[in-house]
Every structure is written in C-alpha cells, then in structure tokens.
Structure 1
Amino acid sequence: MKLMVNHQTHYSYTAPVASSIQYIKMMPATNAHQQVHYWDISVPGQREMSKDAFHNVWMVSTQRTPYQSMTIMAQGMVELNPLRSEQSMSDSINPNLFLQPTECTLCNEAMKDFAKSHIPIISRQNLMALAQAVLEHVPYISNSTSVHGSAIDAFEARQGVCQDHTHIFIAMCKYLGLPARYVSGYLFAQNTSHLASHAWAEVFIDQAWYCFDVSNQLFVPSAHIYVAIGRDYWDVAPVRGVREKGGVESMHSIVQVLSC
C-alpha cells in the first residue's frame, strides 16, 4: 500500500521573532516495514541533518532573520510492506534502554493495581486485553489534554488522546518489567483523509517488538507509517525549539494521509 502524507505546521507570533532554532523529527526512514519513495521537509533557514541515540533522523533548522509567522511542511510517499507479520520493526537498539523511567511514563499505585489485575500472566494476548481496558478507562476525547501531561495525569483524569494512551500503556508495561517504547508516525484509515499525526506503543515480548495501538485497538502495524521511536513523547516530538522574542505563540497543524 502506497500512502501520500502532507503534514503542515503553522506558527504565528504576536511580535517579531528575532532568531530561533527548530529541532524537527518528521522524516520516516526506509526499513523492513516501509519504503520511503520520497520525502521532503520545507522549512526556512539553514538546515543540518543528523541522527539521535534512537537512530531517528533529526533536522536542525536555524533562522537568523526576524519573522512573525513560519510554516514547516513535511510531505512524501511511503509504501508499506503487506507481507510483514504481526511483529513490528526490529533494530539493533538494546530493548533494555526502553525500561528507563521518564517523568511521563511513571505509575502510581492505582495504575500498578490496574496493570496487575489485567496481566495475571505476561502474554501478548493479555497485553491486548490491557490495551482494551486502558481505552475503556481513558476514553479518547479530542483536544482533552496537552503534550505536557503525564501517564498519571491522564489516568486520573480518565480522558485523553493517543499520546496519553501510549504513555499509560508504556508506564504499565515498564512496571511489569517489559521494555516498551513510544512510536510517532501516521495512520491511514479508510474513508477519511484528515488525521492528526499518530502515536502508539511497541512492547518487546518473546524476543520481538509488537505493536499496541491503544487508541484504535490495532495490534498489527499494517496501516502505520513509522517516523520516530523513543521512551516517551519528548524523545520523538515532531517539532521542538527555542526562540528569542516573539511574544505569544499560536500553532496549528494539518495532516493528510491518502492512499494512492
């Protein structure tokens, strides 16, 4: 399946920005799961490419002239491999790296009890049941949380989005001693072309990584484009940056994922 992606992020400011640096992780890589036929990122300023500790492609864009609005656009074509099994990507990164705690993926006592009650024995089937229970406990509600929330925040609020579901599920898996990682990317769904950039979890079990898309209850990455992996959202955030001046920032994004 070939997918066309167009991801636009628009920024505007109440006062001129004197200078800024943007750290951009919006570039999928070719691997056993997907082939990137072409991909481009349009962003003003000087650009430099590198890779982070998780092998994600990382662009640094530096703007040294004043501006009051800016658009970052990523677009390209990716072909998914229909012959892949239900296992997700394999790589050379030590799975134990994804046992490290982060502020966003900690469990409180209620979450620990919740995880233990749904995982009497560790198995992929029981992890699917846990994913379903998480979605029932924390229903998906658009725009209900911010990127600064943690797994504990969303679990206690009992509402969230894909980022929250992924953080909660990762937190519980880590508590159970299972390496679990955060994946950012895109999801193609039939009969709709406007989807936000997506997030899901992968868990290392039976010597392989498996997909757990809690928000959509999908456990095979047959319609998922991988962009970046990390311990939590902050390792894979599409755009992070620092700026000098600019007043108050406003941001909105548009994502299209189309079959072609």
Structure 2
Amino acid sequence: MKQLHFYYRMSSLFSDPITDHSFTLKCIPSSESTQDVMIFYKRIAAGKVSGDWTASGKDAAGNQYIYGRISAPHTAFSVEVEGTARVSSGAGYKKEAAREMLYRFPTALTICTEEMERFLMNFWKRWPEMKEAALMPSKLRAEQQSLSFRKSMKNLMEAVFCHMEYVPSATTVTTTAGSAFAMKKGVCQDYAHIMIAFCRRMGIPAAYVAGYMMGEGASHAWVSVCDQSTGTWYEIDPTNDRWVDDDYIYQCAGSGDFSAGSCPLKKCEKG
C-alpha cells in the first residue's frame, strides 16, 4: 500500500449575508475497502460565526457525509481537511449486490445520444468473442469472462480518451454526456459521464466517483464499473486512460449527475 498526504479546501463567498444555512458535505475522505484514512485536521467555518450543530451519517451509496446548520447571518463558508490515506494498488473489490441496481440506469447527464449510439455500435463489433467460454468449466469460465470484461473496459476507456480533448472551462456541471461527446472536449467529469453512459447502455453498472489524484492539485472524477459475472468492481480513469491505483484517494460515489450523490457540497440558505 502507498501512503498519500492530502489537503483540501473549499470556500464560498456571498455578496449579501445569508441565514438559515443548511449544508451536506461529502468532500471528506473516509476509510473504504481500498483505503485507510486518518484525518488529523478538519474545520468547517462561516467567517466568525459559529454553527448551530453538525452531525455525520452515511447515504444509500455508502458515502460518509457531514451535515449541519448555521442560522446566524454570514457572508463566507469554508471547509478544510487534511490527513493521510493508505491506498491499495487498485485491484477489484466487492460491494453489496444491491448497489448494482443504483448504477444501472441513465440519469439526465448520462443519456446516450444517437451519435453516441453509433459510436458504441462500432466499438461493440470489436468486443472479444465469448462463445468458447461457454464450453469451459464454471470457475475457468468466470476467470475468462472477467479477463474479457477488463480488456473490453480498457478498450472502451481508450476509445473515449482518443475521442475527447481535455479543455478546461469548455463545459459546466450541467453539461450532458451527449453535449460533451458532440463537442469532443471537456474535463474529467465529462469523460466520466460519457464512460458511464456507454456502460449503462450496455447494461453494465457504472458509478461516478469523485476524489483526488496525486499531482492533480484539484478534485478529480473517474468511474467505477461492475463485472457482473463475478460481482467485482473496478475503477477506471478515462481522462487519463488508466486504471485507478494507489495514486488516487476516493471521496464519494454517485449515480452520475453532479447533483446526485457525488456532489461534494449541497446547501440551502436564505439571502
């Protein structure tokens, strides 16, 4: 395992004072099957104003989160967290079988357009032939299917990587997979949305993952895909055309829309 150090800061400034501010944070890494996290500094602040209360919990996708409320007027809100993570080398891992159902169906940002359908059909023709595997003993067949799944995911990831150009500020958090695919440019969340759209169109459960990548200097997004023949999940980074390994720290996962599950901050306030 590799030990990584991380420091994360997120801040918001408001032009006028706000009140009755309720928030949910999913930007603080927690220990998971692929990482062991130790937090040694955490601060949630609203300028000089103290919050009413904070608490923690876990959502349906297994994400740890912190939520709270600040009633007094304030014009700033920030979160700081620092810690270390001992991260595994990137082998597959298991999740509860019910999680597969959370990530089978398209969301508003991960729908395949006709253009994407044509692209996918051309790719699909190159998938490895699996007829021979049907004649193998069950254990060997499962290993062969898993190998073909990983190879197919690597090929699809490479196809997305080659189709797209990384262009900062080319898109927003509301840009759909279809729009980014048509423009052939975007950022990490667009690459992830496109990969998710393709996987779900093929019936493969795929989740949007937010976190940190060593050397990135900012938050990053990638994809978790499920090999249903073994129930094993693998994480892939289409932005960099590579498997996720011990250079990555997991933050949270969601269905694919930035507002659903994988958004690091949700809030509601008056002002």
Structure 1 residue 61: Cα displacement: 2.2
In the alignment, which residue of structure 1 is the partner of 2:181?
155
Is 1:200 matched with 2:222? Answer: yes
User: What is the number of equivalent residue pairs in this alignment?
Assistant: 238
CA contact (8 A) 1:54 1:93 kept: no
Q: CA deviation at 1:124?
A: 2.3
Rounded Cα–Cα distance in structure 1 between residues aligned with 2:268 and 2:252: 21
**1:177 aligns to what?**
203
Report if the CA contact (8 A) 2:157-2:195 is conserved.
Answer: yes
Instruction: For residues 32-66 of structure 1, give each alpha carbon's deviation from its aligned partner in whole angstroms, at most 9, with x where no partner exists.
Output: 31111225531132211111101101111211111
Contact 2:22 2:268 in 1 (8 A): yes
SS at match of 1:135: helix
Residues 1:142 and 2:168 aligned together: yes
Q: CA deviation at 1:28?
A: 2.1
Shift of 1:127: 2.2
Residue of structure 1 equivalent to 2:145: none
Partner AA of 2:160 in structure 1: V
Given the alignment of the two structures, is residue 126 of structure 1 paired with residue 152 of structure 2, yes or no? yes
Q: Is the 8 A contact 1:119 1:130 kept in 2?
A: no
Question: Structure 2 counterpart of 1:113, which letter?
Answer: R
Q: Which amino acid aligns with 2:176?
A: S
Identity across matched positions, percent: 27
Q: After the TM superposition, which residues 226-241 of structure 1 pair with which residues of structure 2 at under 5 Å, given as runs?
A: 226-232=250-256, 233-234=258-259, 235-241=261-267
Return 158-167 or 25-34, whichever deviates more.
Answer: 25-34
Look up the match of 1:252: none
Does the 8 Å CA contact 2:36/2:86 hold for their aligned counterparts? yes
Which residue of the partner structure matches residue 17 of structure 2?
16
Answer yes or no: is the 8 Å Cα contact 2:39–2:81 preserved in 1: no
Native 8 Å contact 1:184 1:228 kept in 2? yes
Distance in 2, matches of 1:106 and 1:236, equals 17
> How has the CA–CA distance of structure 1 residues 156 and 107 changed in structure 2, closer, same or farther, with 3 Å as cutoff?
same
TM (normalized to structure 1)? 0.86
Structure 2: state its 5+ residue gaps. Answer: 46-50, 129-148
Displacement after TM superposition at 1:74 (Å): 2.0
Q: Does 1:52 align with 2:53?
A: no
RCO comparison, higher one (Cα < 8 Å, 6+): 1
Report if the CA contact (8 A) 1:118-1:126 is conserved.
no
Letter in 1 for 2:250: Y
